[in-house]
């Protein structure tokens, strides 16, 4: 969030990395100095506008404050995130791996191996997309500095105007899915050109990537051996 303060550049980068790993994003830091740090999305197609910029809160101070933040990702989640390396994994499990602690390998795999992840719904729309779309609005940033009654009134008026605008926009809409979803589906359709599906009968398909077998899809059960369908 814009205005958030961190003790130094290292603390800021660790927080950004932790957020990126949890959100399934790959980021890097083109500017990486003690007085200023910038993080951007590390997508190969250079189509994602996500970025964050933090610089000195006070002159000659190591403290950094987030100055600008574009929190909208236009590139899909990644499943091979290089940020989740052995160092990050060791820090997360240091306490559990200490000598004398009872350690069960299955518990470890259940947390960190995709083959053991639970596949129930993990949709974060309710607590992420809807909330963040409001929190990132300039009106909210201004309202935060007002008294409680003024703040609530400003938010109420903003929501009324927003609902009215969205209602007008919906009258012009001509598709069954939202614009962002349509753009995402189009991007996935472009990527699907590298795969070939071979029918195996009764709703089963083998997916090949070049000359290599990639996965087996069961349309009846809506499962895939790559487990991406199950885990997302």
Structural domain harbouring 159: 125-171
Q: Kindly state the percentage of the chain with pLDDT values over 70.
A: 78
- Looking at the structure, tell me whether residues 109 and 129 fall in a common domain: no
Query: Using an 8 Å Cβ cutoff, are 219 and 231 in contact?
Result: no
Instruction: Confirm if 43 and 26 have CB atoms less than 8 A apart.
Output: yes
Residue 26 lies in a domain: yes
Tell me if 148 is assigned to some domain: yes
Residues 108 and 135 in one domain: no
Mean pLDDT of 24-36: 83
Domain membership of residue 224 (yes or no) is yes
- Number of domains, the chain: 4
Average pLDDT over residues 160-174: 85
Looking from the CA of 230 toward its CB, the CA atoms found within 13 Å total 14
**Same domain membership, residue 57 and residue 19:** yes
| pTM exceeds cut of 0.75 | no
Instruction: Please compute the mean of the pLDDT values over residues 123-148 and round it to a whole number.
Output: 68
Whether the pLDDT of residue 41 is over 80: the answer is: yes
Assess if residue 9 is contained within a domain: yes
52 with 21, same domain: the answer is yes
> Does residue 77 form part of some domain?
no
pLDDT tens across 66-109, in order? Answer: 888 888 777 777 777 888 887 887 777 776 666 656 666 666 66
181 falls within a domain? no
One domain for residues 101 and 144: no
Cα distances from 132 to residues 48, 70, 162, in angstroms, run 18, 11, 14
Instruction: Report the alpha-carbon distance of residue 116 to residue 120 in Å, rounded.
Output: 12
Q: Are 224 and 217 in contact (CB under 8 A)?
A: yes
* 15 plus 40 within the same structural domain: yes
Q: Are residues 111 and 134 in the same domain?
A: no
Can you give the C-alpha Rg of the chain in angstroms? 22
- Report the alpha-carbon distance of residue 42 to residue 25 in Å, rounded: 8
Q: Is residue 76 in some structural domain?
A: no
Answer whether residue 180 is part of any domain: no
């Amino acid at each position: 969030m814009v205005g958030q303060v961190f003790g130094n550049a290292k603390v800021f980068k660790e927080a950004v990395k932790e957020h990126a790993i949890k959100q399934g994003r790959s980021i890097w830091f083109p500017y990486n100095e003690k007085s200023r740090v910038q993080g951007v999305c590390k997508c190969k197609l250079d189509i994602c506008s996500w970025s964050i910029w933090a610089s000195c809160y006070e002159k000659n101070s190591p403290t950094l404050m987030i100055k600008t933040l574009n929190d909208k990702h236009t590139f899909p989640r990644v499943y091979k995130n290089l940020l989740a390396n052995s160092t990050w994994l060791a820090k997360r499990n240091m306490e559990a791996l200490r000598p004398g602690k009872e350690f069960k390998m299955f518990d470890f795999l259940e947390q960190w191996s995709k083959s053991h992840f639970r596949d129930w719904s993990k949709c974060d729309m309710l607590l992420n997309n809807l909330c963040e779309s409001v929190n990132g609005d300039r009106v909210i940033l201004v309202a935060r500095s007002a008294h409680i009654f003024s703040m609530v009134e400003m938010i109420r008026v903003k929501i009324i105007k927003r609902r009215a605008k969205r209602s007008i926009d919906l009258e012009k809409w001509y598709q069954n899915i939202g614009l962002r979803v349509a753009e995402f589906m189009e991007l996935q359709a472009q990527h699907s050109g590298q795969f070939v599906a071979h029918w195996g009968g009764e709703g089963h398909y083998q997916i090949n990537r070049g000359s290599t077998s990639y996965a087996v899809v069961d349309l009846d059960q809506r499962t895939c051996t790559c487990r991406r369908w199950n885990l997302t």
